[in-house]
Amino acid sequence: MKSFYKVATLTVVMAVLAASALAQEKTPATAALANLAEGQATIASSGNPSWDGLSEFVLIPGASLMGASSTTTALYLGFTGGSEADIGNMVLYEVPRNGSTVIKVTKVELGGTQSPSIVLTNTSTCPVQPVSVTNPCIVRLDTVKLALSPLYDYYFTIYFTLDTNNEQIKGVGQTALPGALSGWYLYGDQTRIGVKGALPTNENSDQPPFFLAYVTNE
């Protein structure tokens, strides 16, 4: 009788272990956070214009991609001042390497909208207050279902609406260590350029971007 219980108990244990192993095999591995391109290494605040009514273009060069394999892309914005950023639209343009003709336009959203208002005084968004150079607020945008390719260049473009809130906001830009990113800004909404359209000329080549801080896989 004791032998029967031992065999039964062993059978149950083996079944549990087998089920656990099977469950572990079926559980997909979680991808580790990785930079897709070298982001800004330091935080600064100088040189910010009044952002109301301006668009910023930020170049993510295909040549700068670091080889991390990913089907998704996450963009992070950085703020060092202001109380609320009112965004009119955000897109990611795909163009040929060293080119300006748009091949693809991908929507970029925060909270499911391309035109969010980011309240920088909200501790849920920016835990350390007040937002400043020493207490920058880094905001992760919604993950984009797009695999960046070294065969193309990408331009993240963000338009700030014409209002008084945007007169006061400041990005993390004009850092001495911008990584692989560079950018420039123009007046008006520059996020409506369609496929086969041409991006405007970059008149401030290799200038550090103001708002895009990091580009990762998630």
Domain edges within the chain: 35-216
Which stretch of DSSP H or E encloses residue 187?
Answer: strand 182-187
Nearest to 212 by CA among 144, 139, 162: 139
- Between CA 68 and CA 28 the distance in angstroms is 18
Specify the pTM. Answer: 0.84
What's the CA gap between 124 and 119, in Å, rounded? 9
- List phi, psi (to 5°) of 82: 100, 170
Least confidently predicted of 6-10, 26-30, 75-79, 169-173: 6-10
Beta bridge partners of 60: 154
Beta partners for residue 53, in sequence order = none
Banded pLDDT at 204 (limits 50, 70, 90): low
Q: Does residue 67 register a pLDDT over 50?
A: yes
What values do phi and psi take at 169, rounded to 5? Answer: -75, 150
Residues 61, 98: Cα–Cα separation, whole Å: 8
Q: For the segment 95-107, what is each residue's pLDDT rounded down to a tens digit?
A: 999 999 999 999 9
- Phi, psi torsion values for 15, nearest 5 degrees: -65, -40
Q: For residue 189, give the 3-state DSSP assignment.
A: coil
Burial of 168 (0-12, 13-18, 19+ CB in 10 A): middle
